[in-house]
Amino acid sequence: MEILYRVRAETPADHRARFTVDVDGVRSPSLDLVVPSWVPGSYVVVNYTRGFRDFRARRGPDGTELPVERVDKARWRIRTEGASRVRAEYTVYGHQLVTEGFDLTPDHLFINAALCLPYVDGHLADPVSLEVEAPTDWKVVTELEDVPDSRHRYRARNYDELVDSPIDVGRPVLLTVNPGGIPHRISLCGTGGNYEVRRLEEDVSKVVAASIALVGDSPLKRYTLFYHLTDTPDGGLEHATSASCVVNRNCFQPGEAYRRFLALTAHEYLHLYNVKRIRPKVLGPFDYTRENYTRLLWWMEGTTDYFTYLVLRRSALYSTEQFLRQRAELVKTYLETPGRNRISLEESSLISWIDLYQRFEETPNQSVSYYLKGDLVSMCLDLEIRHRTEAHASLETVLRRLWTDYGRPGIGLEEDELLAVVNRATGLDLAPFFDRYVRGTQELDLAAFARLAGLDLAPRAKRPDERDEPESSDLGVAVEDSGGLPRVRHSFEGRTGHEGGLTPGDEIVAINGAKVTYAGFEKALEQVPPGSTAELTVFRRGYLQKISVVMGKPLPRKYAFTPMDSPSDLARAVYESWIGEPWRPERETS
Ligand SMILES: [Zn+2]
């Protein structure tokens, strides 16, 4: 069957694009066109067809109209009445600049195929083509293969490849760098942006080079990094030969935001290995109509995140201090998540569809992100391997082994196969580690693992030159702004607010009779000594109530990894192989 999609950027100002799907070689009495209910890489079911309208079908490109029935939210059934060529036509409203978006504005057309191009049911494996019609001064940027002698026509081996190849049409700033001799395009779409071309090119090249060095190989002929410059928080979506990122247009000057940008870039880039090629068997070919369950997302995302920061350290884009500080920030977030041992990494992976992507008020008490815990467990696994092999093997060895055995051939990991690969690659038996921290819910003794690399992990003591800032008593809640009042978003189990009965939705009006505002909430907590009983006045479901809470001790503001005074030779060797530089005990690590 031949399937050709056409998209016309008809009225960019009102965000409507016109689509046709030509299907040639039809032999069935009906044809189902189906829009995916999720996008690979974003593990949540979403109703993408809200913006569809005027769906029609006809015989051939210009023939009589054929009957169409909408079978469900995402499926249209065309009665073919003996036609061998069928054309479907429809319009889609696209005004969502997110990583898996479909966005049409007077500036550009950005397409993730899953959001606007339905597949022909039963023909996911058939080759497809796509033709783009856009203003003449717009250029098309995509990793899809050009159809020779055509204007803006591209083809893919199958529907999965089409979905895996985002397309941006517009007037992007297009840069090309060649780390490892492989052309990498940087496509900057959108207005503004405080980037400096030279630095951006250099730093992206460093990320790419360090990633290739980590795995020891690259499968790429070419790659494109799409950066959509906007004003929202950043995010990214990985693809086999590209990545689609949405970033704040002002993130490019050196500092915290730029380090986050580099981390996003490294994370999405590493996915070309981990998840796009080294992947769970169930993730491709996909079932686009429902959840595709895997227990391995912790490795696909958390371990990718762990390697992200290792790559940034190896490329010297992060100093050792910045690397260890970032680790310590993760530790703090992790230790302040009450649900960290309520659910295993495998279960947290499995229920991503209703958990990580559907967070709600109780999530922190019953669950933990497989990015966060997956990263820290990967770090501990890495330190354990380095320690037990006297720094002859590491998690990098495991990644390379996965690449050789599963990446190149693209055969997919069975759900229970990862441990065997880890054991094979390292020569160790890591089943007890997996039983405790991957399949089980035993508390991760982070300080004990840090000592394997000669580092103490503890709440950070103040340096003498630091100001003595007043410390807030702990109430154990996360609040959000509700018309100027702090409204409880999360009430953390095991902390004082929860024990006193503070519950999500409570709007805190006063503490000990004194008015409280959202802006002044932290200051208000400084006025109440730890251990004292405070009377909180709250609106609960619109009704004024009083609650007594015993204020908790302040939580550590920060954690830090600091070098031990006299670590063993083995611990030094672990540190040096891990950090990639000689042991320097005089270092102040945070
Ligand atoms: Zn990811």
366 in Cβ contact with 337 (< 8 Å): no
Between the CA of 300 and the centroid of ligand 1 the distance, in Å, is 7
481 in Cβ contact with 452 (< 8 Å): no
Quick one: CA dihedral 163, 166, 167, 168, positive or negative? positive
119 in Cβ contact with 1 (< 8 Å): no
Between the CA of 414 and the centroid of ligand 1 the distance, in Å, is 20
Between the CA of 211 and the centroid of ligand 1 the distance, in Å, is 15
Report d(CA 387, CA 452) in Å as an integer: 6
Nearest to 347 by CA among 302, 419, 293, 301: 293
556 in Cβ contact with 332 (< 8 Å): yes
Between the CA of 150 and the centroid of ligand 1 the distance, in Å, is 35
Between the CA of 374 and the centroid of ligand 1 the distance, in Å, is 12
Phi/psi of residue 281, nearest 5 degrees: -55, -35
Between the CA of 267 and the centroid of ligand 1 the distance, in Å, is 6
Report d(CA 377, CA 14) in Å as an integer: 47
Segment holding 550, helix H or strand E: strand 543-550
Between the CA of 303 and the centroid of ligand 1 the distance, in Å, is 9
Report d(CA 233, CA 230) in Å as an integer: 9
Report d(CA 177, CA 186) in Å as an integer: 8
Amino acid at 122: G
Report d(CA 138, CA 155) in Å as an integer: 19
Between the CA of 266 and the centroid of ligand 1 the distance, in Å, is 10
SS3 580: coil
Starting at the earlier edge strand, list the strands of the sheet with 139-142: 95-96, 102-104, 108-111, 167-170, 139-142
Between the CA of 302 and the centroid of ligand 1 the distance, in Å, is 8
- Specify whether the backbone of 165 is left (phi greater than 0), alpha (psi in -120 to 50) or beta: beta
Between the CA of 343 and the centroid of ligand 1 the distance, in Å, is 21
Between the CA of 274 and the centroid of ligand 1 the distance, in Å, is 9
Buried-exposed string 566-586: b where 16+ CB fall within 10 A, e elsewhere = ebeebbbbbbbbbbeeebeee
Q: Is 332 exposed, middle or buried (0-12, 13-18, 19+ CB in 10 A)?
A: middle
Between the CA of 268 and the centroid of ligand 1 the distance, in Å, is 6
Between the CA of 409 and the centroid of ligand 1 the distance, in Å, is 22
Orientation of helix 320-335 relative to helix 304-314, angle to 10°: 160
Between the CA of 306 and the centroid of ligand 1 the distance, in Å, is 11
Alpha carbon 207 to chain centroid, angstroms: 17
Between the CA of 240 and the centroid of ligand 1 the distance, in Å, is 12
Q: Which residue is it, tokens 């803006």? A: 152
Q: Which residues on adjacent β-strands are paired with residue 167?
A: 111, 142
Alpha carbon 426 to chain centroid, angstroms: 28
Q: Does the N-terminal peptide bond of residue 219 adopt cis geometry, omega within 30 degrees of 0? A: no
Between the CA of 42 and the centroid of ligand 1 the distance, in Å, is 9
Q: How many CB atoms lie within 10 A of CB 97?
A: 19
Between the CA of 109 and the centroid of ligand 1 the distance, in Å, is 24
Q: Return the pLDDT at 466.
A: 73
Between the CA of 304 and the centroid of ligand 1 the distance, in Å, is 7
Between the CA of 296 and the centroid of ligand 1 the distance, in Å, is 13
Phi/psi of residue 6, nearest 5 degrees: -130, 140
Between the CA of 578 and the centroid of ligand 1 the distance, in Å, is 22
Between the CA of 554 and the centroid of ligand 1 the distance, in Å, is 33
Between the CA of 265 and the centroid of ligand 1 the distance, in Å, is 10
Between the CA of 80 and the centroid of ligand 1 the distance, in Å, is 41
Two structure tokens written together for 281: 């068997």
Between the CA of 317 and the centroid of ligand 1 the distance, in Å, is 20
Between the CA of 166 and the centroid of ligand 1 the distance, in Å, is 16
Between the CA of 189 and the centroid of ligand 1 the distance, in Å, is 21
- The Cα-based distances of 145 to 148, 153, 240, 411 in angstroms read 9, 9, 13, 23
Q: Return the pLDDT at 410.
A: 76
Phi/psi of residue 129, nearest 5 degrees: -125, 160
Q: Is 53 exposed, middle or buried (0-12, 13-18, 19+ CB in 10 A)?
A: exposed
Tens digit of each residue's pLDDT, the chain (590 residues):
999 999 999 789 999 999 999 999 999 999 999 999 999 999 999 988 999 999 999 998 889 999 999 999 999 999 999 999 999 999 999 998 887 889 999 999 999 999 999 999 999 999 999 999 999 999 999 999 999 999 999 999 999 999 999 999 999 999 999 999 999 999 999 999 999 999 999 999 999 999 999 999 999 999 999 999 999 888 999 999 999 999 999 999 999 999 999 999 999 999 999 999 999 999 888 999 999 999 999 999 999 999 999 999 999 999 999 999 999 999 999 999 999 999 999 999 999 999 999 999 999 999 999 999 999 999 999 999 999 999 999 999 999 999 999 998 878 999 999 999 999 999 999 999 999 999 999 999 999 999 999 999 999 877 777 776 777 899 999 999 999 999 999 999 999 999 999 999 999 999 999 999 999 999 999 999 999 999 999 999 999 999 999 999 999 999 999 999 999 999 999 999 999 999 976 555 54
Between the CA of 468 and the centroid of ligand 1 the distance, in Å, is 39
Between the CA of 205 and the centroid of ligand 1 the distance, in Å, is 20
Between the CA of 308 and the centroid of ligand 1 the distance, in Å, is 10
Two structure tokens written together for 531: 């251990």
Between the CA of 11 and the centroid of ligand 1 the distance, in Å, is 34
Q: How many CB atoms lie within 10 A of CB 275?
A: 23
- The Cα-based distances of 563 to 326, 329, 362, 458, 537 in angstroms read 16, 17, 37, 11, 46
Report d(CA 467, CA 193) in Å as an integer: 36
**Bridging pattern class, strands 559-563 and 543-550:** unpaired
Between the CA of 276 and the centroid of ligand 1 the distance, in Å, is 10
548 in Cβ contact with 535 (< 8 Å): yes
Residues near ligand 1 ion, CB 5 Å cutoff: 301
Query: pLDDT digit string (tens) for 136-149?
Result: 999 999 999 999 99
Phi/psi of residue 210, nearest 5 degrees: -70, -30
Amino acid at 424: R
Q: Return the pLDDT at 548.
A: 97
Q: Return the pLDDT at 8.
A: 96
Report d(CA 317, CA 284) in Å as an integer: 34
Q: Is 417 exposed, middle or buried (0-12, 13-18, 19+ CB in 10 A)?
A: middle
Between the CA of 263 and the centroid of ligand 1 the distance, in Å, is 11
- The Cα-based distances of 421 to 398, 408, 557, 575 in angstroms read 7, 15, 39, 24
Between the CA of 225 and the centroid of ligand 1 the distance, in Å, is 14
Q: Return the pLDDT at 587.
A: 54
Between the CA of 330 and the centroid of ligand 1 the distance, in Å, is 16
Can you point out the beta strands (E) in 404-472? 455-459
